[in-house]
Amino acid sequence: MRLLSILFLVSFYSHSNSYYEEISCPAFDESTAIQLEPEKSYFKDDVRHRATVEKVTGEQLLDFHKQFVMHERPIQLSLNKELANQLRVKVVYRMRYYREKYRSAKNHITTHDIVAPVVFETQYGLLAGDSRGEFGGELVFIDKGGEVQILQDMNVEDIYKFSFGYVITEGLGHMMSNNGAIYLVHFVQGKPEIEKLHGLIGAPKSSLKLLSGDLLINTDHGSQLLKRNGALIRVRCVDS
């Protein structure tokens, strides 16, 4: 009986991939991605960390916190248009925030300029995202007036447009953790709303829109396909 159980488990795991739909999985190509979604732009920043730190007095710190209402997240958000023009990119957003300690020194305000690696232009404004690995990341929305809003803390991998909204692939593989998810952004009276659409089997290492309109997402644990109707399935990549 024990031998039969072992044989069943071996057979199950050896044939588990046969239950996945087999598809041809092309490699990501930026020019093809832009052709399929011309509203999107990519940028790879050669500078790892664009941040400055300034020591502030107690009075300056009080003035900084006065601009926020109760329970509002104390991050000052704006656009750095000068740096964006210099780098010839669509979006550089700036975050200013207080840190109690920085390298053992107290009372510092950090100014962090984020050159968004991926930007998607919508009819209401721009969706932009960044991933700084274990140091965080976020999805932001910039409206037509230039106001910046953090929609969600996440490690953004890419942004795509579907008939039912804008799909964001995100996740982080770090040390013993490897998690990913798909989020959906849609607009209600011009205002963005975000919700989690699916969990992924791991952090996305790459993703790309196929000519069929489906979205291929590759992780360390295998590949998944987000269908045009929003369904998520497992797939097995085969040679073209």
Q: For residue range 42-94, list pLDDT tens digits in order.
A: 999 888 789 998 888 889 989 998 999 988 899 999 999 999 999 999 999 99
Between vectors from CA 205 to CA 200 and to CA 208, what angle results, nearest 5°?
Answer: 85
- Average pLDDT, integer, range 20-33: 91
The residue with tokens 């093809």 is 32
- DSSP-assigned states of every residue in 147-181: -EEEEEE--EEEEEEETTEEEEEEEEEETTEEEEE
The residue with tokens 């085969």 is 238
pLDDT for 30 equals 94
103, pLDDT greater than 80? no
Domain boundaries, the chain: 33-203
Of the given ranges (90-104, 137-151, 153-167, 181-195), which has the lowest mean pLDDT?
Answer: 90-104
- Average pLDDT, integer, range 109-124: 96
pLDDT tens per residue, range 135-161? 889 999 999 999 999 999 999 999 999
For 49, list phi and psi in degrees, rounded to 5: -145, 110
Exposed, middle or buried, 9 (CB in 10 Å: 0-12/13-18/19+)? exposed
